[in-house]
Amino acid sequence: MSWTIVDGNEACAAVAYHLADVIAIYPITPSSTMAEAADAWAADGRHNLWGTVPSVVEMQSEAGAAGAVHGALLAGGLATTFTASQGLLLMIPNMFKIAGELLPAVFHVSARAVATHALSIFGDHSDVMAVRSTGWAMLSSASVQEAQDLAVVAHAAAIESRIPFVHFFDGFRTSHELQKITALDADTIDRMIDDSPVAAHRARALSPDHPTLRGSAQNPDVFFQGREAANPFYLATPAIVQHAMDRFAALTGRAHQLFEYYGSATATRVVVIMGSASETVATTVDALGPDSRVGVLTVKLYRPFSGDDFVKALPSTVTHVAVLDRTKEPGAVGEPLYTDVVTALAEAVATTTAPWATMPRVIGGRYGLGSKEFSPAMAAAVFRALAAEHPPQHFTVGITDDVTALSLPIDEGVQVEPAGAVRALFYGLGADGTVGANKNSIKIIGDETDLFAQGYFVYDSKKSGAVTVSHLRFGPRPIDAPYLLSRASFIACH
């Protein structure tokens, strides 16, 4: 077993580089370091799985990067790119084509807020939710370790299923968090990739030696039928993803599921969530204790959404469910994950495939927009809301909403920190060297000692000269705490 200290971007990019022939890039915050790392590795002559140096090409926009990926796939290559926010939205036209033509691309997205009333460089899920109708499978990672592990699963499943994948994780909270993780070696990654579907993809390349028709225009007599003809590929994808996860578990000992439940086996209250905040909720579940009968269900494969697997992952005792979305869809009856959960539960009850005679009460909430902090105290507030006699149907958590009064009250007395960990806060100014020094400290602790370490760095969007806050934790046990320090044992002001 090999340990390394990396952030989510580097952990993901290393896998993507190893499994690509072509990497088309146009850097955008907070995904930029994935593109920069790939470019540097190519310049150093680093080889991929097939013994060649991937072609890393910087385009003039994200739309161009998606077009280059599309062309490389049609030529029989395996291609990837890295993006976020408006950059991902510029790729939408090509994404519809890539999915419609069943081409196994993988886009790695450090999920970031889409500019609305204001631009934000910080993280939420509004960008990935904006592309959920493109026909791409969507796989969510919740930590730096998962950003590496599920990147392999995404590539392996895309190649086998012929469905393109968006693999995403939280911008800044995961993309820029330094963690000590178990590194994958090249041999393990290689063993995850089946040669047969790779050869089949290369054989489908456009060639004058075996001409085929692509990208035609169709009239009303056949277009509908053509769209429905893709159904078997999507129906097969959840099982293919789970199979890839099972192969990965056999190779590494780290198991992943389409939907991962954590908590009481007889829970009555369950939170459903995606991304890094799932670890925060899991920490809160532990703090509340088994007598509270609470749990958290983390969605890993968001598209195609397997309703059957979702229902099976829930405890049969659940009576109240809170679905937390890290996005806002103004005017909708509810946010995307909320509506999917309600639909899955309603269909299960209607078809009597669910263990409940009546459908659990489902409420929906928004959290964490623009990297707004989501702490254990906020997770506890959601569980309290579920226990209320009349739970709020729709709510926000993490802000004080004095306009529409949708926010939940927070008990700041609920403080949860990893046991036995040293916790240090460093206040500095952008470009004063504090962040760089703290990154070095975390890497030294992680690489040169047996301790586990975590570093997260809060920047202002003004960058140089603005306030920075470095949140460092290290201790003898793994640190699953994707939230800011609430109580520090060491504080420095630079």
CA 468/CA 365 separation, integer angstroms: 30
245-262 burial, b at 16+ Cβ within 10 Å, e below that, comes to bebbeeebeeebbbbbbb
Last residue of a domain, one of 217, 234, 251: 251
Residue 75: pLDDT band (50, 70, 90) is very high
List the beta bridge partners of residue 211.
none
pLDDT(401) > 80: yes
Q: What is the pLDDT of residues 47-70, one digit of tens each?
A: 999 999 999 999 999 999 999 999
Contact 364, 394 (CB under 8 A): yes
Residue 362: pLDDT band (50, 70, 90) is very high
Q: What is the pLDDT of residues 205-247, one digit of tens each?
A: 999 999 988 889 999 999 999 999 999 999 999 999 999 999 9
- Backbone dihedral region for residue 331 (phi beyond 0: left; psi -120 to 50: alpha; all else: beta): left
Residue count (the chain):
494
Q: Is residue 243 part of a domain?
A: yes
Furthest CA-CA distance within the chain: 71
Q: What is the pLDDT of residues 146-202, one digit of tens each?
A: 999 999 999 999 999 999 999 999 999 999 999 999 999 999 999 999 999 999 999
pLDDT(418) > 90: no
List the beta bridge partners of residue 261.
297
CA 407/CA 397 separation, integer angstroms: 5
Same domain, 286 and 356: yes
CA 457/CA 445 separation, integer angstroms: 17
Same domain, 334 and 187: no
Q: What is the pLDDT of residue 414?
A: 87
CA 73/CA 389 separation, integer angstroms: 54
Strand, helix or coil for residue 300: coil
Q: Say how many domains are in the chain.
A: 3
List the beta bridge partners of residue 345.
none
Last residue of a domain, one of 397, 430, 453: 397
Contact 322, 363 (CB under 8 A): yes
CA 425/CA 187 separation, integer angstroms: 39
Q: Is residue 410 part of a domain?
A: no
CA 294/CA 320 separation, integer angstroms: 10
Same domain, 188 and 298: no
Beta strands across the sheet bearing 394-397:
259-263, 294-299, 269-273, 320-325, 361-367, 394-397
Last residue of a domain, one of 203, 218, 251: 251
Residue 373: pLDDT band (50, 70, 90) is very high
Same domain, 307 and 233: no
Q: Which of 424, 416, 413, 422 is nearest to 475 (CA)?
A: 422
Q: Is residue 405 part of a domain?
A: no
Same domain, 230 and 351: no
Q: What is the pLDDT of residues 295-305, one digit of tens each?
A: 999 999 999 99
pLDDT(1) > 80: no
pLDDT(283) > 90: yes
Q: Is residue 191 part of a domain?
A: yes
Same domain, 147 and 216: yes
CA 203/CA 319 separation, integer angstroms: 51
Same domain, 21 and 72: yes
Residue 423 burial (10 A CB sphere; 0-12, 13-18, 19+): buried
Using the structure block, give the residue that is written with the tokens 């109708």: 133
Taking residue 266's Cβ as centre, other Cβ atoms within 10 Å add up to: 12
Q: Is residue 239 part of a domain?
A: yes
The whole-number average pLDDT for the span 276-283 is: 97
Q: What is the pLDDT of residue 356?
A: 86
Residue 323: pLDDT band (50, 70, 90) is very high
CA 97/CA 15 separation, integer angstroms: 25
Q: Is residue 21 part of a domain?
A: yes
Whole-model pTM: value is 0.97
Taking residue 479's Cβ as centre, other Cβ atoms within 10 Å add up to: 20
Same domain, 191 and 208: yes
Residue 16: pLDDT band (50, 70, 90) is very high
Same domain, 218 and 80: yes
Q: What is the pLDDT of residue 230?
A: 97
Same domain, 212 and 341: no
Q: Which of 179, 82, 100, 93 is nearest to 136 (CA)?
A: 100
Same domain, 243 and 327: no
Question: Which CATH number is 37's domain given?
Answer: 3.40.50.970
Q: What is the pLDDT of residue 412?
A: 86
**Structure letter (DSSP) for residue 407:** B
Q: What is the pLDDT of residues 240-262, one digit of tens each?
A: 999 999 999 999 999 999 999 99
Structure tokens that stand for 164 in this block: 């393109």
Same domain, 184 and 222: yes
Q: Is residue 407 part of a domain?
A: no
Q: What is the pLDDT of residues 431-487, one digit of tens each?
A: 889 999 999 999 999 999 999 999 999 988 777 888 999 999 999 999 999 999 988
Residue 24 burial (10 A CB sphere; 0-12, 13-18, 19+): buried
CA 392/CA 231 separation, integer angstroms: 37
What are the two backbone dihedrals, phi and then psi, of residue 438, each rounded to the nearest 5 degrees?
-70, -35
Q: Is residue 245 part of a domain?
A: yes
Question: Which CATH number is 294's domain given?
Answer: 3.40.50.920
The residue segments making up the domain with residue 77 are: 3-251
Taking residue 177's Cβ as centre, other Cβ atoms within 10 Å add up to: 25
Q: What is the pLDDT of residue 430?
A: 86
pLDDT(125) > 90: yes
